[in-house]
Structure 1
Amino acid sequence: MTPGTSPRPCGTPSSFRADVGKHIRDRAARLKARAQGFGRHVPWLMRAVAALHLAGLGLIMTTAWAGPGAAGSGPVAGLPGLHLAFLMATGAAAALLIMVAGHDRDMAASRQLAAGAGSAAGLTELMAQMSHELRTPLNAVIGFSEVMLHELHGPLGHARYQEYAHHISESGGRLLKTSEDALAVTEALSALIADRMHNRRERLVAAPLVREAWRAAGGASAPSRLVVTTCTTCDIVCERRATSQALEHLLREALAKAPAEGRIEVRGTRRGGRRSLEIRVADAQAAAGTEGPGSLCLILARLLLETQGAGLACKSEDDGVWSATIEFSARS
């Protein structure tokens, strides 16, 4: 072997593999571009093939109308057989194009589902990270304020400091609860997006859904305070997880407004194809952080319900009765 020459004139194995990989990727990209171009022209090709098919059908009908003699002799002899072959070819081409168009639609729908699921998962992950970043300093604020409040390392010196430590602890707890609620509603909205993308609306009996939300709202220790009326015969069409979250927030609001040992009534109503649930609290009282229509629990419940087509109306009457009514869309 002469100096300066190589037994591998094509280069080293690594460079050869890189060239082959580049060639394969370029070839795949060209094939993909051609497939996409063909997909864009499928509707026009379908129209053209359908027109040719109809033209051939019209020609063979005209030939048959001329009579057997015209079809079996002279210049048109043998044309019916050719016409039939032409019709079969154009029909097969039309069927193939319809299959290609249907496959393209299915692939587009699959890509849309994957994109929606990915965005929902990304939103949940973002909110989980934000909630973690909030909880870490809040836990320190609440913990040290509790230490100061109980004077574990000695007296604070002034009565006002005791009051300040109490306010710091209470405010930190509220902010921590707010961050947890934001994370919960984000997870519910992500689940709602996923359910909607996969069409997961289902018909459910209201009573088990209400009791499940009651336990999640913290009412498991006092089951006698919940009175469920006519909900066992009230079936609703909804997204399960979003509706359960909305009921949980509304029952938290009702628990905050109800007096000690006061009862909370949930009543189901059927009117033709429409269904409604009403949550009532007698002798309602204003609770800290729940005043007015802008309270967090009501905002979250309204968002979760209206996103799936339901409505929420809340009112406080002069006799002290507070109620929240959910109107579900007509049954489908």
Structure 2
Amino acid sequence: MADDLSRRMAATLALVLAIDAALALLAAALLDPWLGSLLAAAGVASSLARHVALSVAVLAVLVAAQLRYARRELLAEADAAPTTAEAHPDLHARVTRLAALADAPVPAVAVADADVPNSFAVGGLRSGTVVVSRGLLDRLDPAELDAVLAHELAHLTNRDALVMTLASFLPALVSDEYALLEDDLPDGARPLVLGGLFVAGYVLASSFVEAPLLSATAVVQYLVAAGVTVLVGGVALGLLATPVVYLARSLSRQREFVADRGSARLTGDPAALASALSTLDDAVSPPTADARGRYEYAGLDGMCLLPHGFDEGGDADDAFRVETRAHPPTAERIDRLRELAAEIATGG
């Protein structure tokens, strides 16, 4: 099972990187008419050299965004704030002890401001972040809490949390879950930035617009060129992100079984995780709407311990939830853990 997970992780990561490269090449082709004159003035004369320079620049931006922005947005999606050992000493002590047992770096710890019990892990290059909700901390006994924390640590040590974090970026971008300008700009600055981009684009368009710069014809040609660039780029992004969704869902299902076994090995108590899964599953009402028939991608799709997300009830379009088909059935996970507990008890 672990070998199968490794193959799925490698396939998902390779697909994400291949799509990044394809997007970078397409972006270079779309941006060349706009930036070609600037690059030529900077000494990049040949068309091939311009495409290589633009492709490398776009690829660097994409990878940097996936490593930094996706992690930040996933935590924000769950309303999770980093916590300290002073604020949650028992929680930090447990994570530190379990990380030492696993011979793994101690991850950061965050607590989601939600009564619904759940948890997830966000991957990073060096370590990651384990997120638990207030509801989870309130409902689990010490052994169950250790089992859940060990499960999330298994996601980090297996590196599947990192792959899922990277894979979440492009689909979430397509589904318009990331408001890049709104999130990164001070209040009131967005109109100024958009206006500046409009003016800068208009100036750059002077290299290919065949009309006097301040004429109505030039404005129309600029708007058409900008619209075509955005439309082609958006359609390509949507098409290329689609296979990531399906491969990430497949990975999500397999990774839960492997992390369950990793938790059982680390704590030596499979029954504790089975009990925790049963407790948390019973604590949440079923979703009021079935999202399985819709093409959409929630930012934390498939990344939580259980598929009920962090919101209970409310409107389905506003609720933060994970599609159930991205997870194995909880009952099946519990049965496998009980079988493992029986094997350990009998020395099998």
TM-score bin (small chain)? under 0.3
Larger Rg: 1
Structure with bigger RCO (C-alpha 8 Å, 6+ apart):
2
Task: Return the TM-score normalized by structure 1.
Answer: 0.28
Larger proportion of strand: 1
